[in-house]
Structure 1
Amino acid sequence: MADIQGSYDDLFTAVPTALGALLDGGDVGGSVAVFVGGEPVVDVWGGFADAERTVPWERDTIVNVWSVTKTMTALCALILADRGELDLDAPVARYWPEFAAAGKEKVLVRHLLSHTAGLPDWEGTVEELYDWPSATARLVAQAPQWEPGSAAGYHSLTQGFLVGEVVWRVSGRSVGEFFADEVAGVLGADFHIGLAAEHDPRVALAVPPPGRDAEYRAGASGGDAAAHAAGTAIRVRDGNSVAWRRAQIPAASGFGNARSVALVQSVLACGGAVSGAPLLSAAGCERAWEEQFSGDDRVLGMPVRWGLGYGLFGSTFGWGGWGGSLVMIEPEAEMVVAYVTNQMREPAEDTRGLEIVMSAYDGLKGLRG
């Protein structure tokens, strides 16, 4: 049986049990956190931080959560909008004049957050992802693939640079700096967009799915593409590189653990404030789950509902990342469930996040009862 570390409320015993089952089933390592009302009711971890299973997963182990990073970047934009510094209905070019090139003058800020801007494909090299000016210049030169706002297509890599550049133009800080100052620093959350070298020893590198190696590439099938790209696909070895960790790739290169993911996103579950730190107004929180699009996503090839930076799923919202990490927010119950792992699985076969979420609902029933 897997050795599960951490703490949990007795009502939520199903959660560590579910994590243990995943580890017993072959997963290398991971962590799960459930917050209710901004407080942890589950904070557990287990397994190993390395593929060789020699380094135990510790309380402060962090991992690349891939596209869960999008929820952190979106929160930065929502904070600026809530402060009246960013108008979500304004053309992007109001803040980033060069962006109007190639027919993008009608792209609104809300289109960037809802994957409806028409710029889903990363056509540059992997190396360009590490160079912010090169990445944003490439996006300035692109023309929309559809009338902005008329359709959705998952902007798997491009969304982070698009929203991140707007954050930079409005705040004068990179999205990683803004997040560190205004979110992680305020909450005491161990989450990073652009990871400093001092944290490298704590990183659990991604482990490819069974039968795959470090050349395993992201794809659009199965609900998340860390890189849907016309010419470039991200490989596991790219995500495990030092260059990836140092870069700010705000759609896909965030590092944290389940505790930090759940803590940050509890801001949206709890009306804008966690532990006495108000980051958003109640109205600012509600913006996140205002439906912007409902229909077939052109990239993911399946029906989706997009809010402002989050996928909408019934009464919940959130998003997952390539490899299996996930965050789910349930505002009615003020609950957030976060699961992060270094063990990748084939997207079409990966139900781990759903299993973890359902185990958390078992505890919530007892809490309400």
Structure 2
Amino acid sequence: MAMAVGDSVRRILERGVAEGAFPGAYAVVGTRAGIIAEYGAGQLDQNDPTRPTNRTVWDLASLTKVIGTTSAMLQLVGSGRVALDTPVVRYLPEWRAPGAERVTVRHLLTHAAGLPAWRALYKEAGDRSEAVRQVFATSPDTLPGMRMVYSDLGFILLGQLVERVSTESLDAYDVRHVFAPLGMQETRYLPPASWRARTAPTEVDPWRNRHLRGEVHDENAAMLGGVSGHAGLFSTAHDLARFARMYLNGGVLDGVRVFDSSTVATFTRAQQPALSHRALGWETPNTRNSAGSQLSPSAFGHTGFTGTSIWMDPERDLFVLLLTNRVNPTRQSTGIGGIRTALADAVAKALAPAAGAGR
């Protein structure tokens, strides 16, 4: 069975390289107990023939929202320091934009705050403090709880909330309370120069006029100093496999508990199924997203703009991790969507005899 999974992973990743979906990729499939199959395909860059390994460093893009920010929020909620249905302005009183007082923490985590999806902070602001002020000046344009609009701005606010409640910077909080306890020594914001050679380059960036390698691809995260609630994390397949196994174990790995199991259950369950498939930070399968069509209703996951994705399925005891640099050399490459769903479906089908029946 492991051979069938490995064959499926290899076939799909090699197809992605051949079709130009990405220069390089690394995928890991596993359970709470360990890894079933992993494979690296392609190369890091047109000018760097290095084949990706489980120690290749990738720009996670919006996986930051769930690996970094949601992890911190899960801990703060689990310990009672943050309440999901409390207005955000109780924690961030400087968010004084009209309508902000109606937005709760749950609204932000489910992308139901009514906030715009995005604004070009990197063009509007000259430095981090000004960019943060621009976010605090942003009003909801819809009543909270009425619709789901995936919003980077909401997660920038959540990053600010983590810092305010914990009195630690977001990057320091995540390292101290999540990554270090899990042995994730290669997961951090602002990766050191010593990691650059094994970091997958991303885009030839028209704003910064250079090929990005080891600095965050997301322009707003760059304006925010490389540390933000919506983007900025870098990591390896080795570390993220440990993170996924911890979630499948209900918040504990190798005897170290980082999350409360009941809070994990709350955060990974769709909150308002009539409104959207969003859990708290996470998304859940809806037959149209990167989960594909075979994972169980209890699955949860997320994607990142640079070509990253992670899905975990407690019912099947399965995780599927895909790390690519599909924005290299340009973000116009769009083949990643088909590869994500093909990988999830192929893995689930290969494991079907041993796992619970899919949907």
> TM bucket by the smaller chain?
0.7 to 0.9
Give the C-alpha shift of residue 90 in structure 1: 1.0
Q: Does 2:340 correspond to 1:357? A: no
Q: Does 2:153 correspond to 1:158? A: yes
Per the alignment, residue 16 of structure 2 pairs with 22
Per the alignment, residue 271 of structure 1 pairs with 250
Kindly provide the amino acid, as one letter, of the partner of residue 42 in structure 2: G
Query: Is the CA contact 1:135–1:161 (under 8 Å) kept in the aligned structure 2?
Result: no
Q: Distance in 2 between matches of 1:122 and 1:355?
A: 29
Give the C-alpha shift of residue 341 in structure 1: 0.4
CA distances 1:129-178 after superposition (whole Å, capped 9, x unpaired)? 895433322121111111112221110x3133111111111111122211
- Equivalent position to 2:262, from 283, 291, 294: 283
* Cα separation, partners in 2 of 1:236 and 1:250, compared to 1, 3 Å: farther
Q: Does 2:311 correspond to 1:328? A: yes
- Equivalent position to 1:292, from 271, 296, 308: 271
- Equivalent position to 1:109, from 105, 110, 116: 105
Q: How does 1:1-369 map to 2 (within 5 A)?
A: 9-13=2-6, 14-26=8-20, 27-72=22-67, 73-126=69-122, 131-155=127-151, 157-189=152-184, 190-206=186-202, 214-215=205-206, 242=215, 247-294=226-273, 304-313=276-285, 314-344=297-327, 346-347=333-334, 350-368=337-355
Q: Distance in 2 between matches of 1:195 and 1:31?
A: 19
Q: Distance in 2 between matches of 1:261 and 1:131?
A: 31
Give the C-alpha shift of residue 284 in structure 1: 0.9
Query: Is the CA contact 1:116–1:148 (under 8 Å) kept in the aligned structure 2?
Result: yes
* Cα separation, partners in 2 of 1:122 and 1:78, compared to 1, 3 Å: same
Query: Is the CA contact 1:30–1:46 (under 8 Å) kept in the aligned structure 2?
Result: yes
Give the C-alpha shift of residue 128 in structure 1: 6.9
The 3-state SS of whatever aligns with 1:86 is: coil
Q: What is the percentage of aligned positions where both structures have the same residue?
A: 25
Kindly provide the amino acid, as one letter, of the partner of residue 352 in structure 2: K
The 3-state SS of whatever aligns with 1:312 is: coil
* Cα separation, partners in 2 of 1:146 and 1:236, compared to 1, 3 Å: farther
Q: Distance in 1 between matches of 2:149 and 2:269?
A: 18
Query: Is the CA contact 1:289–1:310 (under 8 Å) kept in the aligned structure 2?
Result: yes
| Mean CA deviation greater in 12-21 or 79-88 | 12-21
Kindly provide the amino acid, as one letter, of the partner of residue 168 in structure 2: R
TM-score where L is the length of structure 1: 0.80
Give the C-alpha shift of residue 237 in structure 1: 5.9
Gaps of 5+ in 2: 286-296
Kindly provide the amino acid, as one letter, of the partner of residue 253 in structure 2: V
Query: Is the CA contact 1:43–1:259 (under 8 Å) kept in the aligned structure 2?
Result: no
TM-score where L is the length of structure 2: 0.82
The 3-state SS of whatever aligns with 1:176 is: helix
CA-based RMSD: 2.9
